[in-house]
Each structure stands twice: as C-alpha cells, then as structure tokens.
C-alpha cells in the first residue's frame, strides 16, 4: 500500500465531482436543468440524480457513525440487502420528489465535503485494509468512499447525459 492511496482517492472524488458540477452548471446555463429525461429510467431528471447521490452519502454517513461507535449498521439500509438495490433506490428517489434542485445541490455540496473530510481523516491502512473495521463486513472503508464518491459521480454524469431527450448536450 502506497502512502498516496488516500490522497489519490480524495483527488479522484474531487475531480469527478468537479466534472459533475460543470455538467449541471452547463445544463442550468442552457435552460435544461429541469428537463425530464427521455425513456423509462428510474431517475427522471437532474434533481433525481443529484438526490440519489445525496441519499447514498447520507447512508454512508449513517453506517460510519453507527459503526465507529461499535454498532452494526444495516448495510445498505434497514430492510434491504445488496440484491434489493433497485427497490431501495426507488425508495430513495421518492423521498426527494418534493425537494427543490437548488436545495439538493447545496446539500450535496455539503455532503461531498463531509465525505472528503471523512476520507482525509483516515490512514491508508484504515481506508484500504478490509479487516480494520468489523462493521464494514469485509469491505474496505475506502471502497465505500469511492463507490459513494468518484464512481457514483461518474455514473451521475453518464445518467444525466444519457437521459437528455436529444443528442445536443450542454
């Protein structure tokens, strides 16, 4: 394990988040921020996609808080297994249907910053050794940070771009 793994994870998350923010800004500038996505997708607009990211940040925050005090958090969520992610993601989407996109964006900015602080507070060993925290059940804390961070931000960009009803992307 190299000493820069944590730093690389934090950097990747920030780079992916910056690209996502740029896409959202371009959509706003182009008057497309509230546009409904084409097709039959779970996430129907930019707000849904950003709320999805926020919801997963909040799940991770909850797992972390409970796990770090010795608890055994319900991962991915109470009443759900990893095989039931589709159903869980619909529930998470539906929780944010009355939210205003500006509020979701503001909260996502704060939760991204919180994720980055969490990752920066841990050593490489703490982030990348699967045996450090029993509550992660054999997964690595850094893996959670990447999946809820950089990988999820890249997914969000792809989802937004694919959801646009024509080929003219902002």
- pTM assigned to the model: 0.94
Taking alpha carbons only, the member of 34, 53, 41 closest to residue 157 is 53
What pLDDT is stored for residue 170 in this prediction? 56
Q: How far apart are CA 54 and CA 51, in angstroms?
A: 5
Summarize pLDDT for 105-131 with one digit per residue, the tens: 999 999 999 999 999 999 999 999 999
DSSP run (H or E) holding 54:
helix 46-68
3 confidence band (pLDDT: 50, 70, 90): very low
Summarize pLDDT for 65-113 with one digit per residue, the tens: 999 999 999 999 999 999 999 999 999 999 999 999 999 999 999 999 9
- 152 pLDDT higher than 80: yes
């Amino acid at each position: 394990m190299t000493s820069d793994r944590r730093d690389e994870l934090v950097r990747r998350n920030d780079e992916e988040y910056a690209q996502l923010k740029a896409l959202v800004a371009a959509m706003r500038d182009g008057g497309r921020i509230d546009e409904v996505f084409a097709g039959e997708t779970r996430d129907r607009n930019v707000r849904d996609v950003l709320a999805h990211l926020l919801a997963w940040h909040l799940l991770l925050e909850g797992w972390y808080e409970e796990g770090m005090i010795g608890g055994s958090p319900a991962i991915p969520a109470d009443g759900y297994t990893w095989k039931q992610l589709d159903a869980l993601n619909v529930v998470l989407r539906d929780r944010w249907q009355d939210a205003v996109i500006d509020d979701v964006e503001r909260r996502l900015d704060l939760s991204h910053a919180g994720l980055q602080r969490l990752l920066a507070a841990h050593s490489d060993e703490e982030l990348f050794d699967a045996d450090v925290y029993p509550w992660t059940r054999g997964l690595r804390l850094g893996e959670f940070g990447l999946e809820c961070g950089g990988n999820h931000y890249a997914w969000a960009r792809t989802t937004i771009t694919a959801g646009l009803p024509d080929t003219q992307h902002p």
